[in-house]
């Protein structure tokens, strides 16, 4: 079967292979080094994790006495075989191991096993030395057995890359990207990550025949623990203490089987773990008099050999080898149920460091950009929240960058960042890519998802504001209209990049863009009764352009122009034949409440903005003078008095006291003309009362003086309706509700005909407020003095 031939089916076995292996088998593969990518989190196992590993091993060993099948499973280790992910340019690529396994998942377990083997090796090495003067045959046999095992154990820690006698012929089994470099040359070899530094320190230690006891401190020249090394230093100290106690049978909780149980005839330990039959002198000595010289050392050696061999030979993992990094991550995410998957940004960041080079990165523009993104994502401590925040950034970024639709699947996000960054073929292009990511992050962080309870800050300069734009932005956030972040981030970036002389113009363009997308989206949704595939409109805008206009994506060459944006959105409305008459007709008959409460609130506020009761048509409103009833600001959108959408004719079918034709069609009570905005307390008081009672309450709520409100209450009582003490309290406690004034002036029946007429009037007023946001502002008239 030809590999890569699109006409032939894919051979899945070439993508994934899985094999269960013991720790020893995996860590002693000839010429194999394990490589931890830079995006993997640092070593982080605490005492609880290492304690559970040790407990698992001791329980498994105890079970092996009676059960020859005793095995402890460590889970899966996901790898990518080959050197492709190791950044080593010629001639240093010749220094790489013959086989490199990039560890995508399992590095915490592997690192812990290796440091545990270092501890086993050191304790056994000391015990062997303590028995050097023994002349008893049983002790000598046991000592030689341990010495042979030391050679085998050392192979799990380091391996030989060269036959030369130099120390640097040895390579640490595990290294980490950026911090470490395998090399046979002392000048270019570098082992500075926590795991590689610990391994190399021990390699140096065991090469010195006169070396004393090994204790890894992970400290610098001043004796301070190196940053990022604390967890591994603590784990090594913890394991060393516990293993020492286990060998001496002094552990407070865990224990190893006694020697006689290990070597008893019925035990499976020797048969399963020892490569040879335990010699008769060794067996006799171990079962003999405990007063004999070297008895303590011999029994400790036996117990420790049993534990170390069990860990290496009977603790196993399923090694899943993927053909590339993308497949490896897909496998990890499908298997992972308790871990914390790496976000696409965490796997992308090392690519940037690698491109800038580790030495130059700290002073590079890329670091400034990466730090901005990191600052935003660091707000999210929970893994699920962090993944969500990353997606909320990358999805609009990809759309703004080149009009690409990015899925929420992690592998797609990782692949997008990696491939786009690789495709940027100059250093400046790469830096601009990362800068755009940072700018998008700033916009999302400060405006769309502000920290805590902070109000959104639309621009980096808080002195620049626009009440209507702030109102619109709150509306977009309320309906979670994230698709507009892509075009808006382009205008935000244009402001950030503008020279001081151009900042005023750029700010006006940005605020205008917010109003334009709000106008388009709300007009579209209201007329169509839902989203109606609106996201595809914005994707078309970013990727290809609309109506012959240029695409707005950064890489697609589109200029950031409010005029172009307005023209594109107007062209889309025209293509849908959504002129004023059609839109008013469609919106006035739709069940607008089912489209969404936020849409309904928006239309009521924009219709009522600077509107006053219509003296010629009671019950209606008409546009008033500027400032007569300003409603388009962030504070008005968030105002408690405007939060609830109240059905005038109750939503409950056939409520008493209402014309029957109101309920002839279910959608009538959901039409725009049947709604008003009032506070929750007043809404609860209105409930499902008949129209004659509601009208009295509307008069109370809309009264602009306390005296008028009291007269309305008194008139209601004369009519036979007592609004109650709560209504009287509201006269003193609450503010006037202008939206109730026109409704309370209507004396006729609140029937289907009036709801229809009011729906048309409100839709007309809303259009007249909103549609101009899609058009250039009219020239200002000069006022004659």
Question: % helix / strand / coil in the chain, to the nearest 5?
Answer: 55, 10, 35
Exposed e or buried b per residue across 397-423, where buried means at least 16 C-beta atoms within 10 angstroms of its C-beta: bbbbbbbbebeeebbbbbbbbbebbee
CA distance 498 to 492: 10
Determine the pLDDT at residue 4: 47
Give the DSSP H/E element, type plus range, for residue 485. helix 485-497
Pairing of strands 611-613, 174-176: unpaired
Cα dihedral value 271, 273, 274, 280, nearest 10: -50
Pairing of strands 32-36, 72-81: unpaired
pLDDT digits (tens, 9 = 90+) for 731-784: 777 788 899 999 999 999 999 999 999 999 999 999 999 999 999 877 665 545
Handedness of CA 664, 668, 674, 675 (dihedral sign): positive
The answer to whether residues 687 and 714 touch, using CB atoms and an 8 Å cutoff, is no
How crowded is residue 52: how many other Cβ atoms within 10 Å of its Cβ?
11
Determine the pLDDT at residue 756: 97
Q: Provide the token pair at 738.
A: 């202008």
Distances (CA, A) of 605 to 511, 594, 775: 19, 18, 20
Cα dihedral value 636, 637, 639, 644, nearest 10: 130
Give DSSP secondary structure letters for 324-370: SHHHHHHHHHHH-SSS-PPPHHHHHHHHHHHHH-TTTGGGSHHHHHH
The answer to whether residues 437 and 418 touch, using CB atoms and an 8 Å cutoff, is no
Regions of the chain where pLDDT drops below 70: 1-14, 84-85, 87-92, 210-211, 328, 331-340, 558, 641-642, 779-785
Determine the pLDDT at residue 211: 63
This prediction's pTM: 0.77
Distances (CA, A) of 88 to 93, 96, 361, 417: 5, 8, 17, 21
Give the DSSP H/E element, type plus range, for residue 306. helix 295-314
pLDDT digits (tens, 9 = 90+) for 539-577: 999 999 998 888 999 998 767 999 999 999 999 999 999
Cα–Cα–Cα angle for 122, 124, 125, rounded to 5 degrees: 60
CA distance 638 to 477: 12
3-state secondary structure 232-277: HHHHHHHHHHHHHHHHCCCCCCCCCCCHHHHHCCCCCHHHHHCCCC
The answer to whether residues 128 and 146 touch, using CB atoms and an 8 Å cutoff, is yes
Q: For residue 44, give the DSSP letter.
A: -
Q: Provide the token pair at 315.
A: 């603790």
CA distance 691 to 749: 8
Closest to 597 (Cα-Cα) out of 668, 655, 526: 526
Give the DSSP H/E element, type plus range, for residue 280. helix 280-286
Distances (CA, A) of 500 to 461, 504, 505, 517: 12, 8, 10, 26
Report CA Rg, the chain. Answer: 37
Cα–Cα–Cα angle for 313, 319, 325, rounded to 5 degrees: 150
What are all long-range contacts of 373-380, with beta carbons under 8 Å and residues at least 24 apart? 373/345, 373/437, 373/438, 373/441, 374/345, 374/349, 375/445, 376/441, 376/442, 376/444, 376/445, 377/343, 377/345, 379/445, 379/451
Q: Provide the token pair at 589.
A: 């008959």
The answer to whether residues 182 and 189 touch, using CB atoms and an 8 Å cutoff, is yes
Closest to 79 (Cα-Cα) out of 122, 34, 130, 144: 34
Closest to 140 (Cα-Cα) out of 23, 45, 290, 279: 279
Give the DSSP H/E element, type plus range, for residue 631. none
Main-chain phi, psi angles of 24, to 5 degrees: -65, -45
Query: Cβ-count burial of 575 within 10 angstroms (0-12 exposed, 13-18 middle, 19+ buried)?
Result: exposed
CA distance 532 to 648: 28
Determine the pLDDT at residue 320: 86
Determine the pLDDT at residue 687: 85
Strand partners for 170: 160
């Amino acid at each position: 079967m030809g590999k890569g031939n699109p006409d032939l089916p894919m051979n899945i076995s070439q993508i994934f292979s899985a094999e269960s292996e013991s720790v020893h088998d995996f860590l002693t593969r000839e010429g194999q080094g394990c490589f931890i990518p830079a995006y993997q989190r640092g070593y982080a196992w605490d005492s609880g994790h290492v304690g559970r590993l040790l407990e698992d091993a001791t329980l498994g060993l105890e079970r092996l006495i009676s059960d020859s099948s005793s095995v402890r499973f460590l889970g899966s280790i996901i790898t990518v075989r080959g050197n492709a992910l190791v950044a080593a340019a010629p001639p240093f690529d010749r220094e790489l191991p013959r086989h490199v396994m990039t560890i995508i998942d399992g590095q915490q377990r592997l690192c812990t096993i290796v440091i545990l083997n270092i501890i086993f090796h050191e304790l056994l090495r000391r015990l062997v030395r303590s028995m050097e003067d023994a002349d008893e045959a049983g002790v000598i046999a046991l000592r030689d057995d341990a010495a042979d095992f030391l050679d085998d154990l050392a192979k799990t820690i380091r391996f030989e890359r060269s036959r030369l006698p130099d120390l640097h012929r040895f390579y640490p089994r595990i290294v980490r990207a950026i911090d470490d470099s395998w090399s046979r040359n002392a000048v270019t070899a570098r082992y500075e990550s926590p795991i590689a530094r610990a391994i190399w320190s021990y390699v140096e230690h065991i090469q010195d025949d006169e070396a004393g006891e090994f204790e890894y401190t992970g400290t610098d020249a001043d004796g301070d623990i190196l940053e990022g090394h604390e967890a591994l230093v603590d784990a090594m100290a913890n394991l060393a203490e516990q293993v020492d106690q286990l060998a001496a049978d002094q552990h407070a909780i865990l224990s190893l089987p006694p020697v006689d149980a290990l070597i008893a005839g019925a035990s499976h330990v020797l048969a399963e773990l020892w490569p040879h039959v335990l010699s008769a002198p060794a067996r006799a000595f171990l079962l003999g008099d405990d007063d004999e010289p070297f008895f303590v050392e011999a029994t400790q050696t036996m117990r420790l050999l049993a534990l170390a061999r069990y860990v290496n030979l009977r603790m196993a993992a399923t090694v899943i080898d993927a053909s590339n990094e993308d497949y490896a991550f897909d496998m990890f995410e499908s298997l992972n149920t308790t871990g914390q998957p790496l976000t696409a940004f965490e796997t992308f960041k090392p690519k940037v460091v690698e491109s800038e080079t580790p030495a130059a990165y700290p002073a590079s523009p890329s670091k400034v950009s990466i730090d901005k993104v990191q600052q935003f994502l660091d707000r999210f401590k929970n893994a699920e929240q962090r993944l969500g925040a990353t997606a909320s950034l990358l999805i609009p970024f990809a759309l703004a960058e080149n009009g690409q639709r990015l899925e929420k699947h992690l592998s797609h996000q990782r692949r997008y960042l990696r491939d786009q960054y690789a495709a940027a073929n100059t250093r400046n292009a790469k830096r601009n890519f990362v800068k755009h990511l940072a700018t998008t992050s700033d916009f999302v962080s400060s405006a769309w998802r502000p920290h805590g309870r902070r109000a959104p800050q639309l621009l980096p300069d808080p002195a620049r504001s626009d009440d209507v734009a702030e109102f619109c932005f709150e509306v977009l956030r309320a309906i979670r209209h994230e698709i507009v972040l892509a075009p808006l981030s382009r205008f935000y970036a244009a402001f950030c990049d503008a020279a001081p002389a151009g900042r005023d113009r750029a700010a006006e363009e940005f605020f205008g863009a917010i109003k334009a997308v709000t106008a388009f989206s709300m007009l579209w949704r209201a007329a169509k009764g839902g989203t109606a595939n609106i996201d595809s409109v914005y994707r078309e805008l970013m990727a290809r352009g609309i109506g012959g206009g240029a695409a707005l994506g950064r890489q697609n060459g589109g200029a950031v122009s409010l005029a172009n944006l307005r023209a594109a959105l107007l062209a889309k409305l025209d293509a849908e034949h959504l002129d004023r008459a059609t839109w008013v007709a469609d919106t006035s008959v739709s069940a607008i409440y089912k489209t969404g409460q936020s849409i309904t609130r928006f239309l009521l506020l924009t219709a009522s903005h600077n509107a006053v009761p219509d003296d010629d048509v009671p019950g209606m409103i008409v546009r008033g003078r500027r400032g007569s009833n300003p409603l388009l600001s962030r504070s008005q959108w968030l105002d408690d008095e405007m939060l609830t959408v109240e059905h005038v004719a109750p939503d409950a079918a056939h409520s008493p006291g209402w014309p029957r034709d109101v309920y002839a069609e279910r959608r009538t009570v959901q039409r725009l003309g049947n709604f008003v905005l009032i506070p929750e307390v007043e809404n609860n008081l209105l409930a499902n009362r008949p129209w004659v009672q509601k009208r009295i309450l509307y008069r109370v709520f809309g009264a602009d003086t306390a005296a008028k409100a009291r007269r309305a209450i008194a008139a209601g009582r004369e009519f036979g309706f007592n609004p109650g003490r709560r209504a009287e309290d509201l006269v003193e406690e609450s503010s006037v509700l202008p939206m109730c004034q026109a409704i309370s002036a209507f004396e006729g029946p609140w029937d289907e005909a009036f709801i229809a007429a009011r729906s048309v009037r409100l839709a007309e007023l809303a259009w007249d407020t909103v549609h101009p946001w899609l058009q250039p502002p009219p020239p200002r008239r000069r006022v004659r003095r």
